[in-house]
Amino acid sequence: MISFSSVSKRYENGHQALANLSFDVDEGELVFLTGHSGAGKSTLMKLIMLIERASAGQVVIAGRNLNRMRRGQIPYHRRQVGVVFQNHQLLFDRSVYENVALPLNIAGFQSREVGRRVRAALDKVGLLDREKANPITLSGGEQQRVGIARAVVNKPPLLLADEPTGNLDPELSAEIMNLFRRFNSFGVTVMIASHDIALIRSLNHRVISLAKGQLAHDGLLPQEQGG
Ligand SMILES: Nc1ncnc2c1ncn2[C@@H]1O[C@H](COP(=O)(O)OP(=O)(O)OP(=O)(O)O)[C@@H](O)[C@H]1O
Ligand SMILES: [Mg+2]
């Protein structure tokens, strides 16, 4: 689903954010992406979204070689990748329903189909009864779940989350992670960038760690002795 071959990213100011990075993520995997602040996690996700382009090497997503992708193909590509951000980027002048419906309206779905899909997505994150609410009246965890519903409403085969639990307490973080695991159990490939090593360790999935833009670790984390 995700294939990076000797990928480097140098920003215009000369900063080398990723260096000679190679890894593959198969369809149906759930992978955590970790590393210090500035290690290149968000940059890696921006390459997958085609918000940035690699300076060298090759990125292939679901068989699509992003190096060769033309401008006109980018909207289709982006609809195939759901994205969740830390600061969820909800619109506070619209209802929960309208926020989740946004990608479908942009894609030109008819309103009946929009309604069906929005309610299915809100149901999956446990917020069906809040569709008319303004997101500003929801808790941080609930707002993040609206962001997740919006990311999955197109039923993308690949879901990226960049620090999705960064603002949440441990209990809510665990709840959000369980939501991602549930999507993964239905076959969605999931990549989650996170600093929360304790939480990541407790979930025992594959971990890709970056250090200064290079691959530092790829695999399960060793479990702590004792406990
Ligand atoms: N648009 C840009 N122009 C120049 N340098 C950038 C740009 N975006 C990011 N960088 C630099 O590239 C490096 C990697 O940034 P990135 O945002 O990918 O790190 P990160 O691992 O996501 O960090 P954090 O955990 O703080 O979110 C950092 O040193 C950052 O300053
Ligand atoms: Mg980041």
Are 177 and 163 spatial neighbours (Cβ–Cβ below 8 Å)?
Answer: no
Show pLDDT as tens, one digit a residue, over the chain (227 residues). 999 999 999 999 999 999 999 999 999 999 999 999 999 999 999 999 999 999 999 999 999 999 999 999 999 999 999 999 877 689 999 999 999 999 999 889 999 999 999 999 999 999 999 999 999 999 988 999 999 999 999 999 999 999 999 878 888 899 999 999 999 999 999 999 998 998 999 999 999 999 999 999 999 988 776 54
For the chain, how many structural domains are there in total?
Answer: 2
Same domain, 148 and 165: no
Q: Hey, which of 33, 37, 42 would you mutate to test ligand 1's pocket, going by the most ligand atoms within 8 Å of its Cβ?
A: 42
Q: Is the CB of 14 under 6 A from ligand 1?
A: no
| Phi and psi, residue 164, nearest 5° | -70, -15
In a domain? residue 136:
yes
What residue owns the CA closest to ligand 1's atom 16? Answer: 40
Q: Identity (one letter) of the amino acid at 81?
A: V
Same domain, 75 and 104: no
Look at residues 209, 210, 206 and name the one whose alpha carbon lies nearest to residue 219: 206
Same domain, 101 and 203: no
Closest ligand to Cα 85: 2
In a domain? residue 209:
yes
Same domain, 68 and 96: no
Q: Which of 155, 172, 187 is at the close of a domain? A: 155
Same domain, 76 and 1: yes
In a domain? residue 85:
no
Q: Is the CB of 35 under 6 A from ligand 1?
A: yes
Q: Which residues pair with 79 in a beta bridge?
A: none
> Ligand 2 (ion): which residues have CB within 5 A?
41-42
Q: Is the CB of 39 under 6 A from ligand 1?
A: yes
Same domain, 165 and 144: no
In a domain? residue 26:
yes
The tens digit of pLDDT for each residue in 77-90 reads 999 999 998 776 89
Same domain, 8 and 70: yes
| Phi and psi, residue 153, nearest 5° | -65, -25
Q: Is the CB of 37 under 6 A from ligand 1?
A: yes
Q: Which domain, by its residues, includes 99? A: 91-155
Q: Is the CB of 38 under 6 A from ligand 1?
A: yes
Residue 106 vs residues 62, 78, 90, 111, 147: alpha-carbon distances, Å: 23, 12, 15, 12, 16
What residue owns the CA closest to ligand 1's atom 26? Answer: 37
In a domain? residue 86:
no
Same domain, 165 and 70: yes
Same domain, 117 and 100: yes
Same domain, 148 and 179: no
Q: Is the CB of 51 under 6 A from ligand 1?
A: no
The tens digit of pLDDT for each residue in 153-206 reads 999 999 999 999 987 888 889 999 999 999 999 999 999 999 899 899 999 999
In a domain? residue 52:
yes
What's the CATH number where 174 sits?
3.40.50.300
What residue owns the CA closest to ligand 1's atom 30? Answer: 38
Q: Is the CB of 11 under 6 A from ligand 1?
A: yes
pLDDT score of 180: 95
Same domain, 24 and 64: yes
Same domain, 169 and 204: yes
